Structure 1
Amino acid sequence: MFRKLVFSLAALAAAAFVSPQIAHANDKAVIVLDASGSMWGQIDGKTKIEIARDTLSGVLETLPADLDLGLVAYGHREKGNCSDIEEIVAPGPDSRQSIREAVGALNPKGKTPIADSVKTAAEALRYTEDKATVIVITDGIETCNADPCALATELDKLGVHFTAHVIGFGLSEEEGRQVACLAENTGGKYLQASNADELTGALNETVTAAPEPKVELGEGMEDGIDRPGSDFESLDLAEADPALCQAACTDNKRCVAWTFVKPGVQADNARCWLKRPAPDKVEDDCCVSGVIADRVALIDNVHITVVLAEGGPDYDLNGRWDFFPMNGETAATKAVEGGYGTEFTTTLEPGRYMLNYRKDMVSNHTEIEVKSGEKIDRDLVLDAGVVTVRILPDDGGEPDHGGRFDLENGDARDGGYGEGTHVVPAGEVKLTTRLGEANAAETFNLKAGESITKDIVMGIGILRIDAAYTEGGPKVEDSGLRVDVLSAKKSLDGKRKQFDGGYGPGNEFKLPPGDYVVAARLGQATAEQAVTVTRGEMTETVVDLDAGVLFVNAPGAYRIEVYAAKADLQGKREQFDGTYGEEFQVTLHPGEYLVVATMGDSQGPKKEKTVTVAAAERAEVAMD
């Protein structure tokens, strides 16, 4: 990721040489200085080459004497020549004055071959054999048809510990992005300087800054070792102290290994990675690592295989397992390890544990004692079998997922719909099934390790019910249609048993073969019709409601009511239906009716009209 930091050129150069991660970790370094024609450009009235000379002159005096420093420049001899690259000063401990004089003599005039110049510097440092640091100071981007990003990746891959830092001197943010990859791809820094004031102020601040403390090593720490992989947690550390990472691993019972990553490798701060299990060692100066030996010995010390029966066939159970610590003869309520599987391996501290395992209708538990330095490998026998149930509407049919099945063995119960497979305790098993109004039950004996498939043929037929306003007339499409399936025979009290029912047209019911009565109701119209259901067949019936529709429109009405047109011997009329409001629609059997509308409010005047309703016809009345 490109990161813009506004610092001075002096600060950048000082940071490159004074930082313990660069100067102390790398004995050799080369400055690659831009001497292209654009360095004659000015910042605050002073040319960039003059600012670079003055800044470098001051920084050179602050560098440690044991640093072998060299200088490579480009673009200082010819215009338009991408090969104008020169190693002016070879890396050496007494090179400061030579570098100062060489920089003072540079006459910027040519192009900007950054990539090839960095490669020249890397080769001067024998980067494939020794640690090597290159500091590039440039006021422009690559102009010689090379790829600095690809070069950085190659140098990082081939080098022992190659690092490039890039100082963008007066570059725009977009230009900075194009050269920052040189630093980013080698673990270095891209820094940007904008003007002379920033150069001077940052130079004074950086040169006098106290150096970062060295990483202190303690017992059990592997210096220059990375253990990549197996991470389960990472931490950002406030201090560059591997003891903090070691302590974090010790305090986390899950942790068996750790890796401390030095500042500037993955982030500006140090980082800590906690690991389980312990990965292999990899030599890398980025890191300090360690392991907790007694925990490594405990890794994967418990292995359990769950089986249906002793010596029985393999079966993928994938049940739930949990280990609970024992306190005397009582198991704790909170598990320390758990998961799902048929065969599982885990790590447990020495002590006694209760292992609980459950799958479908089966549960089992056993006590396990874990001893230091020993591994446990045993079977957990469930004493169970496997039952597959399929509910079939008829012979040769597919499972009907509207059907319900239930399995029972003692206190263990389970079930499902249509079809399903369950692990069931061995012994006598009761199976009950239901599909629509058809029911079945059976009892069978299940042996440990046995797998049984039960295809339950319910032998049903399907009854589809519709209704029509008259025989052969239009069918009812109204969702308010109610249909019920009743027994053909009446009980002693004259009532019929109801088997099923529903609303709307086209209802389908799954029924045992036999005779039934279908009752239909829409509004005030009712009808019954006998029907016979045949096994394995769809029976369709249309109930003749013998009815029509009455619609009443009474503007200003408070209530509308419908009565029989003819009064009985006591002079009373039977009320069929009614509603509040100005409109009303109802389904009625054919005949003469009296419509009464109460106008305004409950005490308002009444309007009456007689109307005739005919089967399969619509009668409309306006109460005006």
Structure 2
Amino acid sequence: MAGLARSVAAAILLLSMTTFGFAANKVIIILDASGSMWAQIDGKPKLEIARESLRTVLQSVPAADEIGFMAYGHREKGSCDDIQLIVPPQAGSASAISAAADSLKFLGKTPLTAAVKQAAEALKYTEDKATVVLITDGLETCGGDPCALGKELEASGVDFTADVVGFGLTADEGKQIACLADNTGGKYIQASDEKALQEALVETVAAPAPAPAPEPAPAPAPAPEPAKPEFNFQPTVVMAEGGEPITDGNAWEIYKANSDGSRGDSVTTEYGTYNGNLEPGDYIVVARDDEAKVEQKFKIEAGQVYKPLFTLNAGTMLIHPRSSQGADISDEAHVDFTYPGGNTTHYGDTKIIVPAGEQKVTVQIGSGSVTETIQLTAGQKIEKDVIVGVGHVVFNAYYIAGGDKADSSGLGFEIVKAKKKIDGSRDDVEHSYGPDSKFWLPPDEYVAVTTLDLATVEEPFSIKVGDNQDIKVPLNAGVLAMSAPGAYSIEILSPKKDIEGNRKALGLNYGDTWQQAIPAGDYVVVRHMSDEGHDKEMPVTVKAGERTEITVTP
């Protein structure tokens, strides 16, 4: 499946850097932090696999190597300028890079060309030897030309190399990005499955570098061999019976066949049109194009030429996800395919080749989703807009209407259904944190529960399909900054006592300083000391939209 292959490829790249990236004196690792990294393998997100693999590999990097770390797409969803050199190239940077990777968010676009250019400049590639290792799970989405950049960096650099690993890209997509590596003398690596990851670990991490071989002595001229065919294996693959041969975007996987007929060791993987020579023996050959594949078994005999035909029995689907009728294609959409024999997930505008038969396509944008069942015949090409039917809303909070905008990290928005259930609770829909929190929601009545520290406000609103709302929530709150020198803890209580003489506790913080957003009103601040009998309380009034400072002294 493409989702699995993409994630495994990410881990392979990380684990392969000890071979082709870290051989240079100075290296910058570029990690794709786009939203597709949330796709899962066996319930585990790809981004977690990438983080753990990076942490493992960095432990084996020589301490003298100067390694840097760059990411893109980790701070903003739609920005092509979201590129950051987080850890400059330096010796002993393993822990800093691991910590940086662990803190990344994965949500943006793929400006890979600009990122490689910035990394080369950070390495002073026109003055020193420089290596960039690019980990990408998608193609360029910001208008860059990676092929042209490769030629530019190779021509102007002292000794510049770009190594690239794709996250399960198709062969056609791989060619579009492999040129960046080819044009700089680097390597393009594409993984296919879990086994490939295990082989990469043995080959790239465990295997020692071979010593230089001595110059061989001149060999005697070989005796002339009898003429033989240039190629003995020339397969052809078609989408459907009677269809035109596929010569681009497809792959050929050649395996030795075990005595029981199962797959043995991998012999080679080739792309596009394949003309090869196979030693006599038993083989299993897999023809693959995207999610469609078919295999045949062969017994190769000396002196024979084999020209087999493979029929994928597959078709092509082009899915254009849109939030509403007439809206732009959504880059944020999750497009899940369930096809005969498997399933996979893509993001945004999607072209996919799948086995013929019943296809279930589920498109999700935010909290809205729609599933369509499509019958696809072999050789057929279906292009379809899928309308999810959601509206868009952006939330911000203000201490007071027309006042200062709340931009604290403690700001949160929880969206719940407006209609209460029989027990009085409401169904949770979605949540987000920080200012400019964005939601895609199906049409309905909702309540936005906005929380900032001790201040909580419920804001009812409704959404229609195609809406684009900007909602400003007034908190009617201020900021209370409290100081209590020498205190063990600081507590905020309600000003009025109940019938038993107790006040309601509203918040507690350990230490002698504390600052909180809090609804406007009257409160009592208590300084708790470690010694009993030395507590001190002081009344305070907080005004909406204002900052109030109080010091509780002995």
Counterpart in the other structure of 2:225: 293
Match of 2:264 in 1: 333
Q: 461, 473, 492: which is aligned to 1:531?
A: 461
For 1:557 and 1:484, locate their aligned partners in 2 and report how far apart those are by CA, in whole Å: 34
Following superposition, the deviation at residue 329 of structure 1 comes to 4.6
Match of 1:620 in 2: 549
Structure 1 runs not aligned, ≥5 long = 1-233, 244-288
Q: Could you tell me which of 198, 212, 233 is aligned with 1:302?
A: 233
CA contact (8 A) 2:340 2:355 kept: no
- Choose which of 487, 499, 503 in structure 1 pairs with 2:429: 499
The answer to whether the 8 Å contact 2:395/2:436 transfers is yes
Structure-2 residue corresponding to 1:354: 284
Deviation string 1:87-116 (CA, Å, 9 cap, x unpaired) is xxxxxxxxxxxxxxxxxxxxxxxxxxxxxx
Secondary structure of residue in 1 paired with 2:228: helix
- Pairwise CA distance, 1:465: 0.7
2:281 and 2:301 in contact (8 A); partners too: yes
Larger radius of gyration: 1
Contact 2:360/2:371 (CA < 8 Å) preserved in 1?
yes
Q: Cα offset for 1:569? A: 0.8
Query: What letter corresponds to residue 357 of structure 2 in structure 1?
Result: G
- 1:412 and 1:317 map into 2 onto residues whose CA distance is 23
Alpha-carbon distance in structure 1 between the residues aligned to 2:504 and 2:382:
64
The one-letter code sitting in structure 1 at the alignment partner of 2:315 is G
Contact 1:394 1:458 in 2 (8 A): yes
What amino acid does structure 2 have at the position aligned with 1:499?
A: V
Is residue 482–residue 503 contact of structure 1 (8 Å, CA) maintained in 2?
yes
Question: Take 1:433 and 1:292, find their aligned partners in 2: how far apart are those partners?
Answer: 63
Among 512, 526, 537, the residue aligned to 1:608: 537
Letter in 1 for 2:412: R
- Matched letter for residue 326 of structure 1: A
Distance 1:532 1:483, change over 3 A: same
Q: TM-score, normalised by structure 1?
A: 0.52
**Which amino acid is the alignment partner of residue 303 of structure 1?**
Q
What residue identity is the alignment partner of 1:520? T
Match of 1:545 among 451, 454, 475: 475
- % identity of equivalent residues: 31
Hey, what does 2:250 align to over in structure 1?
A: 319
Q: Deviation of residue 345 (structure 1)?
A: 1.0
Tell me which residue corresponds to 1:144. none
Deviations 1:60-82 (A, max 9, x none): xxxxxxxxxxxxxxxxxxxxxxx
Question: After alignment, is 320-329 or 582-591 more displaced?
Answer: 320-329
Query: Structure 2: any 5+ residue segments left out of the alignment?
Result: 1-211
The structure whose RCO (Cα within 8 Å, separation 6+) is larger is 2
Give the superposed CA RMSD: 2.2
Alpha-carbon distance between aligned partners in 1 of 2:312 and 2:466, rounded to the nearest angstrom:
41
CA distance in 2, matches of 1:542, 1:482: 13
Quote how far apart the aligned CAs of 1:370 are.
Answer: 2.4
**Quick check: 2:321–2:348 contact (8 Å CA) kept in 1?**
yes
Give 1:216-235 correspondences, 5 Å limit.
none
Partner in structure 1 of residue 188 of structure 2: none
Aligned counterpart, 2:416: 486
1:381-431 deviations in whole A, cap 9, x for unaligned?
Answer: 111111122212223333222110111123311221112222111111111
1:460–1:511 CA contact under 8 A, matched in 2: yes
Q: Distance in 1 between matches of 2:230 and 2:531?
A: 86
Instruction: Give runs of ≥4 in structure 1 deviating > 6 Å.
Output: none
Amino acid at match of 2:270: Y
Given the superposition, is the C-alpha separation of residues 291 and 541 from structure 1 closer, same or farther in structure 2, using an over 3 Å criterion? Answer: farther
Residues 457-510 of structure 1 deviation map (CA, whole Å, 9 limit, x = unaligned): 223211111112223333222221111111121111111112111111111111
Give distance in 1, aligned partners of 2:213 and 2:407: 68
CA contact (8 A) 1:426 1:447 kept: yes
Question: Aligned partners of 1:470 and 1:237: how far apart in 2?
Answer: 81
Separation in 2 of the partners of 1:510 and 1:540? 12
Contact 2:236 2:245 in 1 (8 A): no
The aligned length equals 342
CA distance, structure 1, for counterparts of residue 463 and residue 223 of structure 2: 76
Matched, 1:408 2:338: yes
The C-alpha deviation readout for 1:282-302, integer Å capped at 9, x for no partner, is xxxxxxx446625x6154111
2: distance between equivalents of 1:324 and 1:466?
Answer: 57
Give SS of 2:324's match: coil
> Counterparts of 1:512 and 1:448 in 2: how far apart (Å)?
35
Distance 1:538 1:238 in 2: 72
Deviation at 1:544, TM superposition (A): 2.1
Per the alignment, residue 522 of structure 1 pairs with 452
1:436, CA displacement in angstroms?
0.4
Task: Find the aligned partners of 1:474 and 1:432 in 2 and give their Cα distance.
Answer: 41
Aligned: 1:576 with 2:506: yes
| 2:351 matches 1:421 | yes
User: Does the CA contact (< 8 Å) of 1:488 and 1:496 recur in 2?
Assistant: yes
| Aligned residue type for 1:386 | T
CA contact (8 A) 1:305 1:378 kept: yes
Q: Does 1:513 align with 2:513?
A: no
1:244-278, CA deviations, whole angstroms, 9 ceiling, x for partnerless residues? xxxxxxxxxxxxxxxxxxxxxxxxxxxxxxxxxxx
Partner of 1:77: none
SS in structure 2 opposite 1:560? strand
Show the counterpart of 1:376. 306
8 A Cα contact 1:481 1:503, kept in partner: yes
How has the CA–CA distance of structure 1 residues 502 and 356 changed in structure 2, closer, same or farther, with 3 Å as cutoff? same
Closer/same/farther in 2, CA of residues 291 and 533 from structure 1, 3 Å limit: farther
What is the distance in 2 between the residues matched to 1:292 and 1:595?
99
Summarize deviations over 1:534-563 as a string: whole Å, max 9, x none.
Answer: 322311111222212211112222211111
Q: Distance in 2 between matches of 1:532 and 1:425?
A: 42
Cα distance, 1:238 vs. partner?
5.6
